[in-house]
Structure 1
Amino acid sequence: MDCRVVVEAAVPVYDVSTADEAVRIAISKTGEMLNPDLNYVEISMGSRDCPHCDDELEPAFIAADEGLVALELEMTVFNVERDEHAARIARKEIGKRLKNIPLEVLEIEVLEEEDEEEAEAADEPTETEPDGGSGDEDDVLPEFEELIDE
């Protein structure tokens, strides 16, 4: 089973004056820590909600030119037994590279295995096409030969 895991990271940034600047620096800093080993991890702004008013807040909290930015890190984990197993693998792999940054698993989505089965079925030859080809190979070769003759 394959799973898509989204992990929230609280990334500290220093010497920032705006939330936008803090987010840009946090994404850059996180990308540097993850690359090149985990260049397949997608980094995006996280979202924060006000616990009292249900409003959405900016992903960065700034105080005294220092900030704490909520980022979402998304990766796909392959060949796991359960979704909890996928979460542990994602936290371990990301956590090894993001030292002293707290992580929390936000979402685990089991990816459809039907897509793989359909792809395998599409690769198998059908009764009308015993060679497994698409049937248009004969159409392509004469055009190619015509180009060579010119």
Structure 2
Amino acid sequence: MNCRVVVEAAVPVYDVETPDEAVRIAISKTGELLNPDLNYVEINMGERSCPHCGEELEPAFIAADESLVALELEMTVFNVEREEHASRIARKEIGQRLENIPLTVLEVEVIEEDDEDDSQAETETEDTDDVEVETSDRDEDDEVLPEFEDLIE
């Protein structure tokens, strides 16, 4: 089973004046930490909302020229047994590169495309097995090529 995992990261950024500047710097900083080892991780702005009124907020909180930016990091984890297993792998892989940055798993989505590919592969294997059975039923006397020793003589 393959899963798409979205992890939220709280990235600190220093010496910024606007939320847009903080987000740009946070994405750049995170990209540098993840690349080249995890260049397949997608980095997006996080979504924040007010817990009381539900109003949409900027992904960056600024105080005293310092900011905490919410980023969403998305990656696909292959060949896992359960969704929990996929989330642990994603947190470990990303967390190793982003030291001292808190991570929270937001979403784990199972990718269904794998099931269709497996069923097609099984069908192709069954067809191949039929061919092998037919060729193994031939008598040894009907061989087209002579034995190797006969060729040498």
* Same fold at TM > 0.5: yes
What is the aligned-residue identity percentage?
76
Q: Partner of 1:141 in structure 2?
A: none
C-alpha separation in 1, matches of 2:120 and 2:23 = 39
Compare the two structures and name the one with the higher helix fraction.
Answer: 2
1:118: how far off?
6.2
> Normalised by the size of structure 2, how large is the TM-score?
0.77
Whether 2:107 is the aligned partner of 1:94: answer no
Q: Distance in 1 between matches of 2:42 and 2:50?
A: 25
Larger radius of gyration: 2
For 1:58, the aligned partner's letter is E
CA distance in 1, matches of 2:123, 2:99: 45
Structure 1 counterpart of 2:110: 110
Aligned residues: 125
Q: Compute the displacement of 1:120 (Å).
A: 3.9
Aligned partner of 1:137 in structure 2 is none
SS at match of 1:36: coil
RMSD: 1.7
Alignment deviations for residues 86-142 of structure 1 (CA, whole Å, 9 cap, x no partner): 000000000000000000000000110234236647978x9xxxxxxxxxxxxxxxx
Structure 2 Cα separation of the partners of residues 123 and 58 of structure 1: 52
Structure 2 CA distance for aligned equivalents of residues 67 and 101 of structure 1 = 13
SS in 2 for 1:101: coil
Q: How far apart are the structure 1 equivalents of 2:18 and 2:123?
A: 52
Which portions of structure 1, spanning 4 or more consecutive aligned residues, are displaced by more than 6 angstroms? 121-124
